[in-house]
Amino acid sequence: MNENTYTFDLLTLFPALFDGLRSESLLGKALQSGALDLQTHNWRQWTTDRHNTVDDLPFGGGPGMVLKPDPIVACLRELRPQRDPRTPVVLLSPAGRLFRQDLAEQWAQGPGLILLCGRYEGFDARVEQHVDQVVSIGDYVLNGGEVAAMAIIEAVARLLPGVIGNSASLTEESHSSGLLEHPHYTRPREFEGAAVPEVLLSGNHAEIDRWRRRQSLLRTKLRRPELLQGLTIDKKDRAWLDAEWAQLQTAAAGQGGDRD
């Protein structure tokens, strides 16, 4: 640990779930080098009753259990003064704002992140007064916030200096430009009858760049069309995309099925 160490604090009832992450290659190395620190805090230790109760029945009735506010807030109160006051406190919940690459980039600026992992029906709503943001990793419900926290840790950690070797691969990947990344190919040149696109073998880097940019656009239009909303697209690329799209539609109509 040093003054540049990026610290992830995980408030969780299941700290052992993070053991695998610690030993995983890139993160494991970053932990060893001191670029990263990952600390788990089991807030069951902040319960004060003799059964160490962390949950209770929901007021108003209904299924499941709700996480009590007192132990998690007590844990947070002890932790926060030990961290840089700019460290965001984030509660993980399917009822949160969607986690996206721009948030990962913002959080990677540092100094660290405090992540609250819920379970069961989630936390008592009053816990939200003690956090900066409520964040979801997608429109599906997990059994708890731990897997969501791991996704966030990976997305943020790989943007930190000293965690991933090749910074070019960071700027060229999906979402960093607002588009999905272009397809990649490696050897063999032909695999089960499918050949690598000729342009990639041409050595013409301007042509290759153009092909990749256009494939990115096409892939995005096919799989995530909403990402193209509000994006300025070069006129020639737009014309190519429209023509390609029309061709695909005709081919799909002929086959009577979806492409992709």
Instruction: Give the interface with ligand ADE as residue ranges (CB under 6 A).
Output: 92-94, 118, 136-138, 140-142, 144-145, 148
For 110, phi then psi, to 5°, come to 95, 180
For 53, phi then psi, to 5°, come to -75, 130
Least separation in angstroms between CB 231 and ligand ADE = 26
Least separation in angstroms between CB 60 and ligand ADE = 21
Q: How many CB atoms lie within 10 A of CB 248?
A: 15
Cβ-based nearer residue to ligand ADE, 148 or 217: 148
Burial class for 76, CB neighbours closer than 10 Å (0-12, 13-18, 19+): buried
3-state secondary structure 164-177: CCCHHHHHCCCCCC
Under 8 Å between Cβ of 180 and 186:
no
Nearest in space to 120 (alpha carbons), one of 163, 72, 161, 81: 72
Residue nearest to ligand ADE (CB): 148
Cβ-based nearer residue to ligand ADE, 35 or 148: 148
Cβ-based nearer residue to ligand ADE, 136 or 215: 136
Cβ-based nearer residue to ligand ADE, 88 or 144: 144
Least separation in angstroms between CB 130 and ligand ADE = 17
Least separation in angstroms between CB 144 and ligand ADE = 6
Least separation in angstroms between CB 148 and ligand ADE = 3
CA angle 104, 105, 109 (to 5 degrees): 110
Cβ-based nearer residue to ligand ADE, 150 or 160: 150
Cβ-based nearer residue to ligand ADE, 46 or 123: 123
- Residues 6 or more apart whose CB falls under 8 angstroms from that of 79 comprise 9, 11, 41, 114
Nearest in space to 2 (alpha carbons), one of 23, 21, 30: 30
Least separation in angstroms between CB 146 and ligand ADE = 8
Cβ-based nearer residue to ligand ADE, 59 or 140: 140
Torsion over CA: 143, 145, 150, 156 (sign): positive
Least separation in angstroms between CB 136 and ligand ADE = 4
